[in-house]
Chain A
Amino acid sequence: MKLHEYQAKAVFSQHGIKTPEGKLAQSKEEALQAALEAGFPCVIKSQILRGGRGKAGLVQVVRNETEARNAIDFMFAPEKKVRNLLVEKAVNFTREIYLSLVPEPKSGTVLALACAEGGVEIEELAKTAPEKIVRESIDPTQGIFSFQARNLAYALGLSGDAAKNFSSVAANLYDVFTKNDAELAEINPLFLLADNSFIAGDGKLAIDDNALYRQKNFQPDAEDFDSDIAKEASQEGIPYLQFDGDISLMCAGAGLTTTVYDLVVDFGGTVANYLEFGGPNYRKSLKAMELCIRNKPKVILIVTFGTIARADVMAEGISEALKTLKPECPIVTCIRGTGEEKAAEILRSIGLEPLYDTEEAVRTAVQLAKGGTR
């Protein structure tokens, strides 16, 4: 679960990392008021999770009231779908630095990444100039050693109080990372000020969904979902991704569903949604189909190869769903695994022709979506 910048910065502050003075605004009036209070120049930042905010004009430095009004109008335009603006005092800095923490799966460590140039796209830099990235592997059972923070500081060319202060920021960010079950903690840019202190110019923090049960401060809200259907699926515990194409995928198993997605694109079709009702959800055919139908798909494509998820139970659920929901679009089924003979009988009894080959099923669905016949 990705947090917004203002949420990430609040967590940073709690862990002793300084952030710019700022105010969150939910309306144009509030935003303008906040800008006037902050004084000019100030920074107006849209609180959205999409990347590339700067290039899209969704983060702007404004020098006077007119510029502030224009920026606020631009960012709050309905099509931008921005709900909150963060208005911050501009920071006078002498240097920008990059610092982040990510898991390193191979060694079972936490990897600190730092770069003497802040404001960069780290993925881009990793490709073009990997030698500029400084790394330090932290053993999660030991935590970050002081020497590791110093290794980073001096490799970045810092010295004196700046090096000491950077070491504290690194230790504090490690604290943020571990105490909050983060999968990413990033400060980019991290500003160095004239007095050798540091302040977090921007913040990214993503919390591990699997740990939300013990991280009660973070709970997803409506704007974290791609659509109302996605939100409802999440409440049902059904993995779901929103797309805008023709074919609703109602499949079982993450790997198989992903592969069916590949095949749909291979054969020239488009996907309306990715929905997975395998594993613990295999008795939820009715709900799964209801969610699919709300996308008004041209075809619903059902592909399963169940391990624990029994084919006959899923077919029974599909039969019930057809009777209850009476979908108007054609349905293509390819249900295999435990109980598949009985599943085939059930499907035939409701007028569906069971297929056994995934590629054939996908081809059929793509043809039907294009207005063809079986």
Chain B
Amino acid sequence: MGATGAEGSFWTGHMAALGTQVVAAVTPGKEGENVGAIPVFHTVRRAVSAAGPVDGAMLFVPPRFTKDAVFECLDAGIRLIVTVADGIPLHDALQIRRAALSTGAKVIGGNTSGIISPGKAMMGMFPYWIERVYKPGRIGVMTRSGSLTNEVTAMVVRAGFGVSTLVGVGGDPVPGLRFAEALALFEQDPETDAVVMIGELGGTMEEEAADILASKAFSKPLAAFIGGRHAPEGRRMGHAGAITSGGVGGARYKMDRLRQAGALVAERASQTGILLAEALHPNTKNH
């Protein structure tokens, strides 16, 4: 949805170029037009009835229209939805999350770049041509930050690894899909040997991931990097969700919880790859 806009059509083209099967676009009032070779429909219901069942929906819709778009997709039976919108109102995000839980849908985002399996497919906006970040491999990545993803994943690739699937859960206070739920998916994924979690201050998602790890429901190595160790209390560090208040949500606390649960916790981005190498190849040095 929103694929006829400048940004939407640019990234829709790249999604197809990487190998994603994009079968229909939706923009009200533009049925009959095309985005590249992709036919445009007025509504999601019309798109699905013409193109047949789809696996997921990619939303390049502005934040104030995102709630409506998500509910339109849910209504049409779509159960995987990625929304990149930065600035979704909090109360809309609460209702989106509530709807995701009650329908069993996976809503990824907002405020994210999306999801990508390098070399295969993507839903979102990733510069997959940057090889020192988006190299295919067997490490799963889940992240709250786009810019930090490049920084940390480059270190994972430098250590000799590549990425199976990267899930951007996004930087908002109420994401549609949480780290703990992404971890459960990586647990089942035969193409993922270990996971890197790129978190930051604010919220409780990293603590929930620690709980999953401690309960042994996630059995693969988990490496974590958490931004905002020195962030001052009560200041919102860029992302809407990146704020510590009343001593809750501090990066240090998250790191301690993860360490106690058995995660490999990197103090700096540069250590992430090294920690993974030690966990996955304990008998070899020099990664």
A residues at B contact (CB < 8 Å):
103, 105-110, 121-124, 126-127, 139-141, 178, 181, 183, 208-211, 213-214, 239, 241, 251-259, 261-263, 265-266, 274, 276, 278-279, 304-308, 336-338, 357-359
Contacts and interface: CB of A to CB of B under 8 A. Distances in A.
20 contacts: A103-B91, A106-B208, A108-B99, A140-B95, A141-B98, A141-B99, A214-B89, A241-B236, A253-B147, A254-B145, A254-B147, A256-B147, A258-B242, A259-B148, A259-B151, A261-B230, A262-B227, A276-B238, A279-B86, A307-B127
B184 to A, nearest CB: 14
B125 A308 contact: yes
A106 B179 CA distance: 11
B146 A123 contact: no
Contact of B239 (A140, A181, A255, A359): A255
Contacts of B240: 209-210
B146 A253 contact: yes
Contact of A262 (B86, B228, B248): B228
Contacts of A109: 94, 98
A307 B146 contact: yes
A178 B95 CA distance: 12
A211 to B, nearest CB: 4
A106 B206 CA distance: 12
Q: How large is the interface on B (under 10, 10 to 19, 20 to 34, 35 or more residues)?
A: 35 or more
B247 interface: yes
Contacts of B98: 107-109, 139-141
Contacts of A239: 238
A211 B89 contact: yes
B125 A210 contact: no
Interface in B211-247: 227-231, 235-240, 242, 245-247
Contacts of A255: 143-149, 151, 171, 198, 200, 227, 238-239, 242
Interface of B: 63-64, 86-91, 94-101, 113, 125-127, 129-130, 143-151, 154, 171, 173-175, 178, 198, 200-201, 203-204, 208, 227-231, 235-240, 242, 245-248, 268-270
A337 B127 contact: yes
A124 B245 CA distance: 11
A122 B231 CA distance: 22
Contact of B246 (A122, A211, A241): A122
A252 B269 CA distance: 16
B230 A266 contact: yes
A338 B150 CA distance: 11
